[in-house]
Amino acid sequence: MPKIQEEIETEIVLDEPPMYRVVLHNDDYTTMEFVVHILTTIFHKSEQESERIMLDVHKKGKGICGVYTREIAQTKVEQVKVLAKQNQFPLLATYEIDE
């Protein structure tokens, strides 16, 4: 029986994954210094950018820390939760779809 080899052309289209904003929320107990620490250590922001985001959190009630894929956003939210708990702060971080 002869072997027949066919070439089939297919085009694969890959969509970009949805992106998510990580948001820090203001509270009455977490210090501004701790928020800056979170932003520099977990989100790798510069001191100047960390202070700007911290002021957004303080004055506007929330501040955007960055935009990531869902898995990375979830991980960063969990890292904030653990570090805040270790330091006895109620700092809340959430993630939401970036539209």
CATH of region 19-97: 3.30.1390.10
- pLDDT number for residue 10: 78
Contact 94, 77 (CB under 8 A): yes
- Mean pLDDT calculated for residue range 34-54: 98
Residue 98 CA: distances (Å) to CA of 14, 18, 40, 64: 19, 8, 22, 11
**4-23 pLDDT, tens per residue?**
777 777 788 888 889 999 99
Task: State pTM to two decimals.
Answer: 0.83
Q: Can you give the residue ranges of every domain in the chain?
A: 19-97
- Band (1; pLDDT cuts 50, 70, 90): low
**58-94 pLDDT, tens per residue?**
999 999 999 999 999 999 999 999 999 999 999 999 9
**50-59 pLDDT, tens per residue?**
999 999 999 9
Contacts of 64 (CB under 8 A, 6+ apart): 21, 22, 23, 53, 56
